[in-house]
Structure 1
């Protein structure tokens, strides 16, 4: 069926790879520094993970175009969403009244996804990696790798 790569866009980028079973395989935060380095890295990253079928991007602008172009060259389904879309589905309204609040609660929920997936636990979890995890979790629900939020993650 393929896997899904989620990206929280930025020069400091959050990445999260989900398997065909809808579980998180790996996640990380990476600082590319410049758009040129990002462009080269995206090319390599997508080719290193040939099982990826869906690319879910949070954000827009020039950096989104870099990911979109590379993904489309490889025939990936590219989905671009604003943060509000996944937050509406995964966080309570009271947890997203401010950006700082949303980032805090995203970190808590991302840790729960990590535990549910039996992925390695982080010593520290940067907000961009946490948001990539939740963008990806939204994505696995959206594309049907998971039919619903697992009972262990429901609140």
Structure 2
């Protein structure tokens, strides 16, 4: 990730990593203000595998300034702890918090409905991005995309959540 010259000033890009924490983890990387760079899902195999992956990924993203983590317990702590060691801003959330701002109540009335709608709605963000999109994201990656988009507003990078087409 490189610096960008603008009017004889060097602009250093900032990045936000969104994590749908679990042994099967959804990930989405955004650049400021709200551009999706990539998204993916990984089965980490175990909490120990997740800790190693969190360390490696956090250390591999230059100019990572924020991590938004949905989840709790040891799977979320792995991300939060490593981000804290690197002085990266941490947003800890749960599905109920971000879903209320991005989905209609009928779209998250149960887990299955919420996950299906996350896949559908993440498509709008993918279409407006530079992220490679060879296929539809898994529900883990789709939720990470929505968490990241919501977090871009939460940290003040954007004022409105207007990339989701309805």
TM-score of the two chains, using structure 1 as the length reference:
0.94
The more displaced of 93-102 and 130-139 is: 93-102
Task: Identify the residue that residue 135 of structure 1 maps to in structure 2.
Answer: 147
CA RMSD of the aligned region, Å?
Answer: 1.2
In structure 2, what is the Cα distance between the partners aligned to 1:86 and 1:145? 16
Which 5+ residue runs of structure 1 have no aligned equivalent? Answer: none
SS at match of 2:137: coil
Which 5+ residue runs of structure 2 have no aligned equivalent? Answer: 1-12
In structure 1, what is the Cα distance between the partners aligned to 2:22 and 2:70? 9
1:18-43 CA deviation, whole Å, 9 max, x = no partner?
Answer: 00121100000011101111111111
CA contact (8 A) 1:116 1:153 kept: no
Higher helix share: 1
Report deviation, 1:154.
4.8
TM-score of the two chains, using structure 2 as the length reference:
0.88
SS at match of 2:22: coil
Larger radius of gyration: 2
Q: Does 1:29 align with 2:45?
A: no
Report deviation, 1:122.
3.5
In structure 1, what is the Cα distance between the partners aligned to 2:101 and 2:108? 11
CA contact (8 A) 2:36 2:126 kept: yes
Report deviation, 1:119.
2.0
